[in-house]
Structure 1
């Protein structure tokens, strides 16, 4: 055998694996270094399925975790705590009346500012008959009238929606307290509150019926409205009639018609502010009749005589 490094012949009887001259490993012997993982059989990695979204159930799962507040105590015979009772109708009516009060106050303020803007515009019309107007003052007048001419109707619309909601709840509570059934259906009431000329009579008559039932008067006696209801009813009728006249007047395009339109818009805003203020009064009056609870600012506590004597 010849050494691949030095090229010399190996003598007979040599080591056989190494060259006797240079010590190199002779041909036919090969050392291979392998890792432990290389000796294991290779297997194909499992293929991950694509994400298919959250789990889906054919029906509502019946398993769940106990809420901490409702977790039964060990040895408690009553089991989990009972859920809280639903809010009373009186509380819901008071919450609606409170929201209505805030919206009515906002509507009254916006209508008041809109009325001031219309008054300023009318004064500018009078001044402009014999002199030129300031562009800055005229711009402020147009800005006030335009801005509050949009905000005031939007606030009035929101107030009207909440008022109808309060009216429906108050009518149900009054009918249940008196043991009667409302003469008008809910649909008829809603149509009568928004469609002229029914809107002149239906809202006021409904308030009078609620007051009559909440006062405990006989059902066969004709309702006689109180002063808050009559005041609201009269202001409401004036506001509806004045609003219709203002809308009709807006179709005219003469100079005098434009001046008359400014005056009509002024009085419409004033009456709308008055109606919003009277709405607060009449809803507070009827809410107190329907939900007679102690006010938070004027509570009084009565101690029974037997308790005092025993102490």
Structure 2
């Protein structure tokens, strides 16, 4: 009489020696309850049942192939991923921001027109000198007049646009600077506009407004002071030019032409300095590219031989005489 245990996984028969085992030594499957080989037990009383399989078919009966299903597709636009939220409500254009963005362009145009006005005024002065002894061709005179009018009138127009856009840019740069420092601007927008628009005040307050923003940048402070001085000098020179043109006489008119050329040169320099200040505060170069950040690293290693100062290459006698 023998007692065996049948593996539920590989159907292997293992004799029971002592206490019943739990795991199959071959496949580590679960061993069923022990049974006696000489007793014929009904399937209900056995802890297992035999399943007949065809030869070389270890996986059992093959399952029926699945029926073809429709191609998977989205019934709606997927909501995952990047979302582009478009504001359907019609919003008005932010004109102060748009003008602030155009400040650099207007300053470049102003500097260019006044720079062209300098040779135009000098050309008019040359025509006046030539006309003292000879007749001037009407075509040359018309070209000179058109050149002076276009450059001077265009320079004044773009200077006005530069002033308006410059005020908008000043409001924006002050708002960003104080927001970066987590402080509120001590001056209101109305105070800034009045200080930049009222004659007399606009000679003093724009420089003060800028210095309140750039007080921690020595180079920017130097640029603001240079622009401030050039701005005041240009306004004084413009007023002097108006009074000079009211003087009678041909010589006064000729001198007024030279004074206009000098005034145009100062105006071009003022616009260029204003552009430098704008680029400096925005962290950009004069061309508008991003300014490279200088990083300083503390040197911890001793200097190499190439970094040491050159030693005296003279002979020992020369060194003794030198000492």
TM-score by length of 1: 0.57
Cα distance in structure 2, aligned partners of 1:243 and 1:176: 38
Gaps of 5+ in 2: 1-74, 88-94, 294-323
Q: 1:129 to 1:159 in 2, by over 3 A?
A: same
Q: Does 1:212 align with 2:215?
A: yes
For residue 120 of structure 1, the aligned residue among 111, 123, 129 is 123
Partner of residue 140 from structure 2, selected from 131, 137, 140: 137
Partner of 2:275: 280
Aligned to 1:156: 159
1:201 Cα deviation (Å)? 1.2
Within the alignment, does 1:231 sit opposite 2:231 as a pair?
no
Deviates more, 1:200-209 or 1:119-128: 119-128
Q: Return 192-201 or 162-171, whichever deviates more.
A: 192-201
SS in 2 for 1:129: coil
Alpha-carbon contact 2:100-2:172 (below 8 Å) kept? no
- The structure that has the greater radius of gyration is 2
Q: Which has the higher contact order (CA 8 A, sep 6+)?
A: 1
Looking at structure 2, the residues matched to 279 and 212 of structure 1 have their Cα atoms a distance apart, in angstroms, of 17
**1:1-311 mapped onto 2 (5 Å cutoff):** 73=76, 81=83, 83=85, 99-212=102-215, 226-288=221-283, 295=290
Q: Name the CA distance, whole Å, in 2 between partners of 1:155 and 1:149.
A: 10
Give SS of 1:210's match.
Answer: coil
Gap runs ≥5 in structure 1: 1-71, 86-91, 216-222, 300-311
Query: Alpha carbon RMSD of aligned pairs, Å?
Result: 3.6
Aligned residues: 209
Q: Is the 8 A contact 2:215 2:221 kept in 1?
A: no
TM-score, length-scaled by structure 2: 0.55
Distance in 1 separating the partners of 2:97 and 2:223: 18
Greater share of helix residues, 1 or 2? 1
